[in-house]
Amino acid sequence: MNQKIQQGTLQVDPLLADFINTQLLPELGLTEADFWQGFESIIDQFTSRNTALLAVRDKLQAQIDEWHTSHGETPFDSIAYVQFLRDSGYLVEEGDDFSICTGNVDPEIATMAGPQLVVPVKNARFALNAANARWGSLFDAIYGSDVIGEVDGCERTQGYNPLRGQKVIAFAKSFLDRACPLINASHDAARTYRVISGQLLVEMDEGVTTLVDSDQLRGYLGEASAPESLLIVNNGLHIEILIDRDSEIGSTDPAGVKDINLEAALTAIQDCEDSVAAVDAEDKVEVYRNWLGLMRGDLAESFSKKGSQFTRTLNPDREFQDVSGGTITLPGRSLLLIRNVGHLMRNSAIFDKHGEEIYEGILDAVITSSIASIDIRKSNNTRNSRTGSIYIVKPKMHGPAEVQFTCDMFTAVEEFLGLQSDTLKIGIMDEERRTSVNLKECIRAAKSRVAFINTGFLDRTGDEIHTSMQAGVMVPKAEMKSTPWISAYEDRNVDIGLACGLSGKAQIGKGMWAMPDLMARMLDEKIAHPMAGANTAWVPSPTAAVLHAMHYHYVNVFDRQLELAQRPVAKLDDILTLPIIKDPSAMSAESVQLDLDNNCQSILGYVVRWVDQGIGCSKVPDIHNIELMEDRATLRISSQHIANWLLHNICTSQQVRESLERMAQIVDQQNASDSLYHKMAPDFENSIAFQAACDLIFDGVNQPNGYTEPRLHARRRELKAMQGSSIS
């Protein structure tokens, strides 16, 4: 246990104190005395309010539990239920219509539409990959994924497979035909691309053609008569056609096209929350140090690949020759947002004057904003926001009072750092039911700050299960997506966002594609997000960002938003339709067991890496060995689902325990190649990770709003203490 350092009345872990005093404060021009005094004032001002808001959560949940148990013997009365929610204060009165007035929002958020990467900022290499995912190779994304089937000689081989390559080129040319079509011709038939008098001329065997929309050509590199690349724009997104007849790929193409670069991840969320395991000062400093490197522009990560050493840094901006003369400069990096933690957890990095751990949300607000202010002061090597804004995504807020609390805290942080009002923009994660049903008033509370609303259907499902825990038996997990509440929730989020004037001013976002290896399926299905009116949606990798970017060329999101704004707002009553099985006895024993096994395997596969290795987000193979992107949101669903079935006697504790033990052996086998992995079987009682999984399930009913953090943090800290790691 580290001896704390006294800073005013605060007791600060020396690791955090050293980071702030020696690395951060020199960038800010603040003295230690001024910084710690201001920080202490914010802690004093907001701690009791934070505690009171959590008490309201518990009170409302207890009232909902009591209502369901007292009405359990009668048919569900939706009218009475909604009235109860209003009377209890769970549903607040909706005010007059309004439009947000957020200012100084970067175009990547306000007026452009494209993919959004989410990445754990604790991992420097991932953080850099995400920041650099603004541009990506379409050829590489297609060639290296399952978009092209590995049949008829088109397998992915160790070297370049020209048969697969030809399929890739044909696929990419068909994309060009949709995104930037030629007059009466296909890009596949192009023989030469030239820029003459500011116009694109494409020579074919049959003659010369040009773009249907000549304004799509923005610029080029090289000689106009023999360009090395062409810069084309469609729906606000850029496409770069690279030409090199002497390259391995270009030599096989009649027009010498060697690649097509797409502007892909316009924005990237650097995550401190669900995808990160950060339980103490040691972990938090690692998170903050990477964020500092991103904001200063000097983050670098060295690694080995195929026997060679590489160092990854942030990409520079990109320059092209404008067709009308001059130079075009385009951002080379994604616009970065930072996701802070929610209001629930405390962290031992700092103890307040009462000897209590401070709330981690307050810690994140002060430190991540302080770091991001380097960008606002323009004292960095690369720019993030070009409009002078700091974008903070705030998860797991319950209703407008909690949004107001966050906005008030942001005001205090701005005053502390000497920033202009509303510099700190808020991203509202619509992932708790009390936020969903009160979304208009949540947005109103942040109307001068809101730059982002996003449906998080995974956490939202976990909260749906926990909120209605006592109401009855939840439908099987796989059926949850087809229940009425979830489609109403997704539609209503867009409806309310458009009604509150977010279009052209802020992002309306949709959730994650959780199957990172199934890119062909993603291409088929994820176009639904821009069609739903979302000008961004989450992707798990740079490859997925490039592929999902294609959808924003096929769908003009802002035109689509104009269409959707004319439809009736999705009904609140539909959101409050509970996903309860009408006749649980109709479920077969086999189907119950299959669901249990699937949930247990998912829980164990994620928890064992979280607790044992501190990995907050990972690809976890399911029982069919399909790798799924798992984070705490998916863990919340699985653990709450089993807890619900246990509560309502769909399964027994012994049955769940047996499933956990069987699945632990499968998870052990799936991780056999990991040299850092510690087996759970057969010594289950001494596996802290296995015990953490048991905690989440068998005490799931009692977890605050079904969150997994309290149990995970406790077990991770237990393991770190056993290993002798630095921990407070």
Q: pLDDT value at position 726? A: 43
> How does DSSP classify residue 422?
T
- For the CA atoms of the chain, what is the radius of gyration? 26
First vs last C-alpha separation in the chain: 5
> What DSSP string runs through 545-558?
HHHHHHHHHH--HH
How far is 1 from 164, CA to CA, in rounded Å? 56
List the chain domain ranges: 81-132+267-317+330-575, 137-263, 584-723
Confidence of residue 306 (pLDDT cuts 50, 70, 90): confident
What 3-state class would DSSP assign to 82? helix
CATH 3.30.200.20 for the 81-132+267-317+330-575 domain, yes or no = no
- CATH ID of 584-723, from 1.10.10.10, 1.20.1220.12, 3.40.50.720, 3.30.420.40: 1.20.1220.12
Q: What is the pLDDT of residues 187-196, one digit of tens each?
A: 999 999 999 9
Beta bridge partners of 267: 116, 335
User: Can you tell me the distance from the alpha carbon of 209 to that of 207, in angstroms, rounded to the nearest whole number?
Assistant: 7
Q: Is residue 1's pLDDT more than 60?
A: no
Can you tell me the distance from the alpha carbon of 716 to that of 719, in angstroms, rounded to the nearest whole number? 5
Exposure string for 152-175, b = 16+ CB within 10 A, e = fewer: eebeeeeeebeebbebbbeebbeb
Nearest-CA neighbor of 287 among 304, 265, 271, 301? Answer: 271
CB neighbours (10 Å) of residue 676?
9
CATH superfamily of 137-263: Malate synthase G - maily-beta sub-domain (2.170.170.11)
Q: What is the 8-class DSSP label of residue 477? A: G
CB atoms within 10 A of CB 720: 18
Beta partners for residue 630, in sequence order: 618
Interval 193-213 mean pLDDT: 96
Q: What is the token pair recorded at 93?
A: 């009165």
Active site residue 339: yes
* Weakest-pLDDT range from 264-278, 298-312, 338-352, 566-580: 298-312
Q: Do residues 536 and 266 make contact, with C-beta atoms less than 8 angstroms apart? A: yes
pLDDT, one tens digit per residue, over 686-704 is: 999 999 999 999 999 999 9
User: What is the structure's pLDDT at 381?
Assistant: 82
User: How much of the chain exceeds pLDDT 90, in percent?
Assistant: 93
Quick one: average pLDDT of 197-209?
Answer: 96
pLDDT (tens digit per residue) in 619-672: 888 877 888 888 899 999 999 999 999 999 999 999 999 999 999 999 999 999
Task: List the beta bridge partners of residue 308.
Answer: 305
Using left for φ > 0, alpha for ψ between -120 and 50, and beta otherwise, residue 29 falls in left
208 residue type, one letter? V
pTM of the entire structure? 0.97
**Catalytic one among 57, 289, 339, 717?**
339
Q: What is the C-alpha to C-alpha distance for residues 186 and 436, in angstroms, rounded to an integer?
A: 46
Per-residue confidence (pLDDT) for residue 727, from 0 to 100:
42
61: enclosing H helix or E strand: helix 32-70
- For residue 121, CA distances in Å to 88, 293, 472 come to 39, 11, 39
Tens-digit pLDDT profile for residues 108-149: 999 999 999 999 999 999 999 999 999 999 999 999 999 999
Query: Average pLDDT, stretch 359-372?
Result: 98
Instruction: State pLDDT tens for residues 65-95.
Output: 999 999 988 889 999 999 999 999 999 999 9
Q: Is the pLDDT of residue 728 over 50?
A: no
Token pair of 104 as six digits: 């100084």
| Bond into 316 cis (ω within 30) | no
Residue 2 has pLDDT above 80, yes or no: no
**Annotated catalytic residue: which of 283, 463, 631, 695?**
631
Identify the CA nearest to 339 among candidates 149, 118, 516, 540.
Answer: 118
Q: Report the C-alpha gap between 198 and 227 in whole angstroms.
A: 12
Rounded average pLDDT over 573-586: 95
State the angle between helix axes of 32-70 and 400-417 in degrees (0 to 180), rounded to the nearest 10.
Answer: 180
- What pLDDT is recorded for position 281? 98
**In whole numbers, what is the pLDDT of the chain averaged over residues?**
96
Q: Residue 486: phi, psi to the nearest 5?
A: -75, -35
User: How far is 705 from 399, CA to CA, in rounded Å?
Assistant: 13
Q: Give me the sheet containing 237-243, strands edge to edge.
A: 135-137, 257-263, 237-243, 226-234, 217-223, 318-322, 327-330
How confident is the model over 36-73, as pLDDT tens digits? 999 999 999 999 999 999 999 999 999 999 999 999 88
CB atoms within 10 A of CB 51: 12
- Beta-ladder partners of 220: 230, 321
The residues, ordered by sequence, that sit 6+ positions from 658 with a Cβ below 8 Å of its Cβ are none
Handedness of CA 101, 107, 110, 116 (dihedral sign): negative
DSSP for 348-397? EEEE-TTSPEEEHHHHHHHHHHHHHHHHHTT-SSS-S-SSS-EEEEE-S-
Q: Angle, to 10 degrees, between the axis of helix 32-70 and the axis of helix 78-88?
A: 150
Look at 306 and 75; give whichever has higher pLDDT: 75
Measured distance CA(282)–CA(728) in Å, rounded: 9
